Structure 1
């Protein structure tokens, strides 16, 4: 069992607070992604779990054992870095075997683990080659194989695909997800790429300013953001936002149309809708098309609604030109509302 408990973990560097009392539970064999922009604290949290940084306060537990005061080698973890950290002067076999030999395992056991993980990562034909002769994708496979060969309780991955080109990233994402699921290892994966996060994670922890804003499944994070930040950060293009005011009829008025809103909402809220959850029909938000971007099956229309930029993803068969007046109707079950003061979701 490799359940991970983060209890009240905070980290300060001088007067700067990188993490604010983080509480997070990661289930055994779960694939958790820490997602956020640069500087949000995700790598700092990963390094604290790894033992490369010490928390200013709080505790880290792995498999029912407190580890925040233990050295990295005693935590049952393996780490895959952004720059791969493979040794160019060693063969692929020697790179994968390096940690196993440091543990003084018998040679037969080393052979078995190296061959098994090399086959898992489809690099068994490269075992005799020096890693300095490999492509970026091959070196990344070696780094993952080396981590898996250690049979760790936990694998920590810090933006491991960021140095690969787009097509190779796509291939490696699919491969990583399958390999790590089969390895039955608990995985924590750091990225700023929301596509990686959505495609890989069992759950995503969205971070901002040293806080975890929401930890939930990819679908839940996308469809039901717990805060305005999550709605604006997740999704490409992101959510649209407009001010909403409740009038005497009990309904919320948004840019000239009336919508049913949350019964517990205040007099003023913020209306939010994803661009793909809009249709063209009578009685909608009055929009003026500004920029048209064909995307194959769909067209991204950037328009202006009540003086604000407002995006809609429409069927490419609809002919829209700059300057056209549109009526955009939000799908009622996809509308979300946020408190203006706290920025938290109002249901």
Structure 2
């Protein structure tokens, strides 16, 4: 069992508070992604779990054992860094075997683990090459193989694919997901790339300002953001937001049209819809087209609705041009509502 439990963990650097009382549980063999913009605290939290930073307060438990007082080597973890951290003067075999030799394992066991993990990462044909002769994607595979060879309880990954080009990232994402599922290793993966997060994670912890804003499955986070920040951060393009004014019990005026919404005693809330959840219709918002971007199967249209930018992902067969007026109808089941004061989602 390699369940990870974070209890009330906070971290301050002088007067700056990087983490605010974080609580979370990563279950055994789960792939958890910490997602957020630069400076949100995700790498600080990862380093605390790894033992590279000491929390100002709180506890870290791995596999039922409290570890926040232990050095990294005693925590049963392996880490994969953004810059690979492979040794260019060593062969691929020697790089993968490095940690095993530090543990003074017998040579047959070292060889067994190196060959097994090299095969998992499809680099067995590179074992005799020096890592300085490898491509970026190959060096990344070596770094992951070295971590897996340690047979850790937990693997921590800090933006491991950010230095690769787009095609290699796509290949490595699919490879990582399969390999880590096969190895049955609990994984925490830090990224600012929401595509990586959505495609890799069993669950995503969206972080902002040193706090976990929402912790849920990728689909739930995308479809039901718990806070306005999540809706504005997740999605490319992100959610559209329009002020809504109460006109009756459960009735709201949004950009000139009335619709059903939350039955709450407030005068103003916020309507939200994803760009792909609107359609060109006979009834809806009056939208003035500003920019048209053909994307192959779809067209991204940036409009102006109620004086604010509004994006719609429409069928590529729809022909439109800047200056034209479209009528955009929101798909009712996809509409979400937010409290403008607390930024929290409101149940419809």
TM-score (normalised: structure 1): 0.99
CA spacing shift, 1:201–1:265, aligned 2, 3 Å: farther
Question: What is the match of residue 147 of structure 1?
Answer: 147
What aligned pairs does 1:111-150 form with structure 2 within 5 A after superposition? Answer: 111-150=111-150
Question: What is the match of residue 193 of structure 2?
Answer: 193
Question: What is the match of residue 156 of structure 1?
Answer: 156
Question: What is the match of residue 181 of structure 1?
Answer: 181
1:90–1:131 Cα contact (<8 Å) kept: yes
Alpha-carbon offset, residue 267 of structure 1: 2.2
1:265, 1:81 → 2: CA distance?
A: 50
2:167, 2:281 → 1: CA distance?
A: 38
Question: What is the match of residue 83 of structure 2?
Answer: 83
Alpha-carbon offset, residue 268 of structure 1: 1.2
Say how many residue pairs are matched: 347
Alpha-carbon offset, residue 246 of structure 1: 1.0
Structure 2: 5+ residue runs without aligned partners? none
Q: Secondary structure at the match of 1:177?
A: helix
2:158, 2:268 → 1: CA distance?
A: 41
Question: What is the match of residue 340 of structure 2?
Answer: 340
Alpha-carbon offset, residue 278 of structure 1: 0.2
1:265–1:346 Cα contact (<8 Å) kept: no
Q: Within the alignment, does 1:64 sit opposite 2:64 as a pair? A: yes
Q: Secondary structure at the match of 1:181?
A: helix
1:9–1:21 Cα contact (<8 Å) kept: yes
Alpha-carbon offset, residue 270 of structure 1: 0.4
Aligned alpha-carbon RMSD (Å): 0.7
2:289–2:322 Cα contact (<8 Å) kept: yes
1:248, 1:88 → 2: CA distance?
A: 69
1:265, 1:181 → 2: CA distance?
A: 48
2:288–2:324 Cα contact (<8 Å) kept: yes
Alpha-carbon offset, residue 249 of structure 1: 5.2
2:134, 2:48 → 1: CA distance?
A: 31
2:6–2:61 Cα contact (<8 Å) kept: yes
TM-score (normalised: structure 2): 0.99
Q: For 1:121-146, what per-residue CA distance to the aligned partner results, in whole angstroms no more than 9, with x for missing partners?
A: 00000000000110000000000000
Q: For 1:249-268, what per-residue CA distance to the aligned partner results, in whole angstroms no more than 9, with x for missing partners?
A: 53011011111111236221
1:280, 1:35 → 2: CA distance?
A: 33
Alpha-carbon offset, residue 209 of structure 1: 0.4
1:58, 1:320 → 2: CA distance?
A: 56
2:264, 2:83 → 1: CA distance?
A: 49
Question: What is the match of residue 267 of structure 1?
Answer: 267
1:286, 1:329 → 2: CA distance?
A: 9
What aligned pairs does 1:237-276 form with structure 2 within 5 A after superposition? Answer: 237-248=237-248, 250-264=250-264, 266-276=266-276
2:235, 2:48 → 1: CA distance?
A: 29
Question: What is the match of residue 46 of structure 2?
Answer: 46
Alpha-carbon offset, residue 70 of structure 1: 0.3
1:249, 1:14 → 2: CA distance?
A: 50
2:250–2:264 Cα contact (<8 Å) kept: no
Q: For 1:55-102, what per-residue CA distance to the aligned partner results, in whole angstroms no more than 9, with x for missing partners?
A: 000000000000000000000000000000000010000000000010
Q: For 1:2-26, what per-residue CA distance to the aligned partner results, in whole angstroms no more than 9, with x for missing partners?
A: 0000000000000000000000000
1:16, 1:115 → 2: CA distance?
A: 46
- The runs of at least 4 aligned residues of structure 1 exceeding 6 Å deviation read none
Of 281-290 and 48-57, deviating more is 281-290
2:26, 2:309 → 1: CA distance?
A: 38
Question: What is the match of residue 280 of structure 1?
Answer: 280
Alpha-carbon offset, residue 290 of structure 1: 0.4
Q: Secondary structure at the match of 1:232?
A: helix
Question: What is the match of residue 298 of structure 1?
Answer: 298
